[in-house]
Amino acid sequence: MAPSQPRATVCVTGGSGFLGSWCVKLLLDKGYTVHTTVRSASKCGFLKALPGADERLIIFDGVDLLAPDAFSEAFRGCSAVLHTASPFFMTGGSEEALVTPALEGTRNVLSTCAALGIKQVVLTSSTAAVYVMYGKLPDDHVYTDADWSDEAAMRERKAWYPLSKLVAEKLAWEICKESGIDLAVLNPTWILGPNLPGQPHLNTSSNAIVAMMDGSAKQLDNACKTYVDVRDVAEAHIAPLEAGGAAWGKRFLLIGGCPHQREVASAVRDAVPAELKANVPTAVSDVLPPHVMGQSPPNPILYDVSPAEKILGIDFRGVEEMVKSAGDAPHCNFVTF
């Protein structure tokens, strides 16, 4: 139930995305008026169907991250901005396709906030900005918000997506310090969980899970990987608006678990309908994946998310619940191939 008194107006960039759409939903649920920027309003029918959308959601269509002054109209009248919009392709791409849009989009968003006097910004970064270290730290290292990925190594290896998250976050801290903007940064890992009803596309992080369901994955990586539920990440984006001053000026790791892929496959097998269970692979690769993130494979990444728990109030869901909530949802693309 929305509170009886109207609340502030908040803009979510990238509101038609997997995370952005959940941020829109939770803000509406909490009684906020929501502006959101999207590339194509034709794909936003599911947002318009959300409770409270008729009265308190305004969708700004055709907003290009790179266009100068693209966000002014959407941000006008807002007290805070949640900047979730960014491209996500872990492989392929190029510096021009990934790093440049992340930097210029961040610059556009924050310069517009400064010009309009908006003093609160929540930025979606990534664990890619925290623990892409290529084995440069010992296996007993516990990753925290104080850790930063190895920028030089990412450039050398042309790892454009993690580099885009790293440099965009660094730029955000720099601009906000100069402009007097309160910034909170969220660093989520691979995001799983349910789509909103009617969401027309599947998020990139979930494609590996779908591959286990549809039979295209024939074996499992011999690795532990970190995951977090989309609902927890969306709650973490809104929490700084409601946590007083405790969250501003901080970054927060968002990780719900780091299971071996055998455990993930078992959760998938339990979640899918009977006719899909045989699709889920059981064989584990004999080859260890490259040592890129955190501890050396197949060891689990060690991390500390206590600041998100204590300051933002997040009670992280486990991987089993992330997978099951997606598999149980009748609208979910996972089980409607």
Catalytic residues: 165
Q: Which residue has the tokens 């590996």?
A: 208
Phi, psi (deg, nearest 5) at residue 75: -80, -20
Spell out the residues 6+ positions from residue 216 whose beta carbon is closer than 8 angstroms to its own. Answer: none
- Going by C-alpha positions, the residue among 330, 274, 312, 7 that lies closest to residue 184 is 312
The contacts found for 207-214 with CB under 8 angstroms, 24 or more apart, are 209/264, 209/268, 209/323, 209/326, 209/334, 210/333, 210/334, 212/264, 212/265, 212/268, 212/279, 212/280, 212/281, 213/268, 213/272, 213/276, 213/279, 213/280, 213/334, 213/335, 214/276, 214/279, 214/337
- The burial of 57, by beta-carbon neighbours within 10 Å (0-12 exposed, 13-18 middle, 19 or more buried), is given as buried
Q: Which residue has the tokens 């009748």?
A: 330
- The burial of 71, by beta-carbon neighbours within 10 Å (0-12 exposed, 13-18 middle, 19 or more buried), is given as buried
